[in-house]
Amino acid sequence: MIEKNLIKFLKKNINFYSGVPDSLLSSISKKLKGKKIKHFIAANEGSAISHGIGYFLAKKKIPCIYFQNSGLGNAINPIISIAHKKVYSIPLFLVIGWRGSPGSNDEPQHMVKGKITLQILKLLGIKYYIIKKNKDKINIQNLKSLLNHSKKFNVPVACVIKKNVFIQSEKNKKIKSTKLQRSLFLESLLKKIKNNTRIISTTGFTSRELYRIRINNDLNQGKDFYMIGGMGHSLSVSLTHSIFSKKKTICIDGDGSLLMHLGSIVACSKYSKNFKYILINNFSHESVGGQNTNSEIVNFEILSKSVGFKKYLRITNKKEISKKLNTFLNLKGKVFLEVRVGNGSLVNLGRPKDFINIKKKFISK
């Protein structure tokens, strides 16, 4: 009920939305549509805040910016340095998915951020309201006064939503698509790599599938470093690893993740001579509900070549995997492999948990 009412409340009062999808807010990011409504999926949470600031400067109206609390770090810069009441004082209505709230059962990286989320908001001077289950009337009244506070004092305010308040859309959907499956590609990769390979894999289902395929199929060649958080940073971590390690580094990234900090790809051109980069492109933020990433408008061949990749390869179906993977693994220099896959992943995915051990194994000889 509160989900429906919050969407109704937002639509009645706000016409511009920008955010990075979150599993807790999945219905919000999917349902905020309509004739008068403009909705931009942002590359990262800082950009979402900035889209909102630009909208306010043009229309003098309050924007709504939504994201998961893990992205609060990205959002902080424009919130403090531009929107803060002691700088330009700009009204923003933030909707924040609160993973890892104290007392909840969530993954370690979410528990760390969840514990300090409200403290961060306090430090930022942001008035907030936590949505409570089954308290619809009170919720809406409080949201109204929160919105009025933001408009009256020209300041950012936040509505914070705990896990399980809304219907979640993080559960992986069984593969239905006839398109290439990510898991099939990952399995083929794990079967071909040598023991001196180090894989650095991105946030969400990619790392979880990799972890599961290794265990279930007893595939032990090489080691993995799962970027279970720090979305958007797999490329940067892999790049320096590939430069400074004697091992063979492979980065496996997602389209949402690559776009989140796309600028870091320029460092490949400047600093690296040898870099193996795999983009699993499903054109969506599948791990948090399948919302669009806008990657369909990017030509990754032109992009990769423009930043110095010597070779670009693309896999779109099962038949191409073996041959193109061999080429990819044997080529020297900077190679960009785009693997176009459908949505859907393996069911009952576990989660890597023993991080210290994973790190130890990864850095061992």
Ligand X SMILES: Cc1ncc(C[n+]2csc(CCOP(=O)(O)OP(=O)(O)O)c2C)c(N)n1
Q: From the list 139, 203, 238, 272, which residue makes contact with ligand X (rule: CB under 6 A)?
A: 203
Answer yes or no whether residue 181 interacts with ligand X by CB under 6 A. Answer: no
Burial of 41 (0-12, 13-18, 19+ CB in 10 A): buried
- Stretch of 25-33, 34-42, 190-198, 277-285 lying at the interface with ligand X (CB under 6 A): 277-285
Token representation of residue 219:
């595939």
Q: Which of residues 316-345 bind ligand X (CB under 6 A)?
A: none
Token representation of residue 92:
């923003």
Phi/psi for 161 (5° steps) reads -120, 120
CB of 104 to ligand X, least distance (A): 16
- Stretch of 52-60, 200-208, 306-314, 331-339 lying at the interface with ligand X (CB under 6 A): 200-208
Q: From the list 78, 204, 308, 344, which residue makes contact with ligand X (rule: CB under 6 A)?
A: 204
Q: Which of residues 68-87 bind ligand X (CB under 6 A)?
A: 68, 70-71, 74
Answer yes or no whether residue 150 interacts with ligand X by CB under 6 A. Answer: no
Token representation of residue 29:
């990011």
Answer yes or no whether residue 285 interacts with ligand X by CB under 6 A. Answer: yes
Answer yes or no whether residue 47 interacts with ligand X by CB under 6 A. Answer: no
In this structure, are residues 275 and 238 in contact, taking their beta carbons and an 8 Å threshold? yes
Q: Which of residues 5-24 bind ligand X (CB under 6 A)?
A: 20-22
Distance CA 120, CA 131 (A): 18
CB of 21 to ligand X, least distance (A): 5
- Stretch of 171-179, 219-227, 264-272, 284-292 lying at the interface with ligand X (CB under 6 A): 284-292
Q: From the list 79, 282, 298, 315, which residue makes contact with ligand X (rule: CB under 6 A)?
A: 282
Going from the C-alpha of 329 to that of each of 93, 128, 153, 209, 258, the distances in angstroms are 47, 50, 57, 21, 21
The smaller minimum CB distance to ligand X, of residues 21 and 91, is found at 21
Q: From the list 18, 257, 272, 304, which residue makes contact with ligand X (rule: CB under 6 A)?
A: 257
CB of 126 to ligand X, least distance (A): 18
CB of 234 to ligand X, least distance (A): 9
The smaller minimum CB distance to ligand X, of residues 15 and 22, is found at 22
If you search the block for the tokens 């340095």, which residue do you land on? 81
- Pairing status of strand 16-19 against strand 64-68: parallel
Site string for ligand X, 207-246 (x = CB under 6 A): ----------------------x-x---------------
The smaller minimum CB distance to ligand X, of residues 296 and 327, is found at 296
Answer yes or no whether residue 254 interacts with ligand X by CB under 6 A. Answer: yes
How many Å separate Cα 247 from the centre of its chain? 27
If you search the block for the tokens 């900090």, which residue do you land on? 261
Residues in the chain: 365
Distance CA 135, CA 140 (A): 9
Q: Where are the alpha helices (DSSP H) in the chain?
A: 2-13, 26-31, 45-59, 72-78, 108-123, 136-153, 182-192, 205-217, 234-244, 255-260, 266-271, 300-306, 321-330, 355-363
Answer yes or no whether residue 288 interacts with ligand X by CB under 6 A. Answer: yes
Distance CA 221, CA 132 (A): 48
CB of 97 to ligand X, least distance (A): 8
- Stretch of 83-91, 158-166, 282-290, 353-361 lying at the interface with ligand X (CB under 6 A): 282-290
Q: Percentages helix, strand, coil for the chain, rounded to the nearest 5?
A: 45, 20, 35
Answer yes or no whether residue 293 interacts with ligand X by CB under 6 A. Answer: yes
Burial of 352 (0-12, 13-18, 19+ CB in 10 A): buried
- Stretch of 35-43, 215-223, 287-295, 329-337 lying at the interface with ligand X (CB under 6 A): 287-295
Three-class DSSP category at 75: helix
Q: From the list 117, 150, 197, 284, which residue makes contact with ligand X (rule: CB under 6 A)?
A: 284
Residues that bind ligand X (CB under 6 A): 20-22, 68, 70-71, 74, 202-206, 229, 231, 254-257, 282, 284-288, 293
